[in-house]
Structure 1
Amino acid sequence: MLNIISILIGLLSLVIVIPAQIPFLGWANWFALPFVVAGVVIGQLSSSNSGRNFCLIVLLIAAIRLTLGGGFF
């Protein structure tokens, strides 16, 4: 059950992260990061790893975009 919750949180975060890849919308990644971290924590509590791994991939995408945009753009 925790794995499904983690995947749903990851999908919610992905919906925020995908439009944030557009220039000047990189600030939206800051809104997605708390959701992603919550998904990683919930996924860690699960017996399966797929939800945690999915959230870690979304976190990696958001972190790379924030790094390339200087943290804001």
Structure 2
Amino acid sequence: MLNLASIGIGAVTFFFALFAFIPFLGWANWFLIPMALVGLVLGALSRSSSGRNFNIFVLLVCIVRLSLGGGIF
């Protein structure tokens, strides 16, 4: 059950992360990183590792986007 919640949080976060790829909306990643971390913790508490791995991917996407935009854009 925790794995499904982790995947759900990761999917919502990834959807908004795609939205944050629009120029001048990169600041939204600052709100998405904590959401991905919550999904990562739920995925770590579950028996399966797919939710955890998906949230790690989403977290990396958000961090790379922030680094490309200089942390703001």
Fold equivalence (TM over 0.5): yes
Q: In the TM superposition, what are the counterparts of 1:1-73 in structure 2 within 5 Å?
A: 1-73=1-73
Report the Cα offset of residue 23 of structure 1.
Answer: 1.0
Measured in 1, the distance between the counterparts of 2:39 and 2:32 equals: 11
Q: Which amino acid aligns with 1:3?
A: N
Measured in 1, the distance between the counterparts of 2:9 and 2:35 equals: 6
Alpha-carbon RMSD? 0.6
Measured in 2, the distance between the counterparts of 1:31 and 1:49 equals: 24
Q: Which amino acid aligns with 2:27?
A: W
Unaligned 5+ segments in structure 2 are none
Report the Cα offset of residue 70 of structure 1.
Answer: 0.6
Detail structure 1 runs of 4+ shifted over 2 Å in the superposition: none
Equivalenced residue count is 73
Measured in 1, the distance between the counterparts of 2:11 and 2:58 equals: 9
- Secondary structure of 1:10's match? helix
